[in-house]
Amino acid sequence: MTQCEGKGSVFFSSYGGILEIDVKDEYLVDNDHIVAYTGGLQQNLEKFGGYKSLLFSGEGLVSRFTGEGKLWIQTRKIPKFTSWLRPYRRQGKGISINQVKSMIGK
């Protein structure tokens, strides 16, 4: 994770929407959803569920944030986002040189 300090704007992107959460004491979140958090929060990595879910599904790790600050999370996980995009991607091996020539008129 990158640390930013000072005055100015910070831009970040995510897979899906970004939700801003005001943490006053404690907040538990899946690791794949974390985008950013302020310095007033401490992050502790914890195991959630059993070893079977950790090994076979990639799930099982969460972050418990304690303290006071802001937490930004994304609404989609990367694998689920790519699965959602798959039907919209171009099928085949791409575009041929002849197709490019016909598009530019050569």
Q: Quick: pLDDT tens for 65-99.
A: 999 999 999 987 777 777 777 777 766 666 666 77
Long-range contacts (CB closer than 8 Å, 24 or more residues apart) made by 78-87: 78/15, 78/32, 81/15, 81/16
Contact status, residue 67 vs residue 39, Cβ threshold 8 Å: no
Max mean pLDDT range (9-13, 34-38, 92-96)? 34-38
Q: What is the Cα Rg of the chain in Å?
A: 20
**pLDDT for residue 59 is more than 70:** no
Tokens at 97, concatenated: 């040189």
pLDDT score, position 54:
55
Check: pTM over 0.75? Answer yes or no.
no
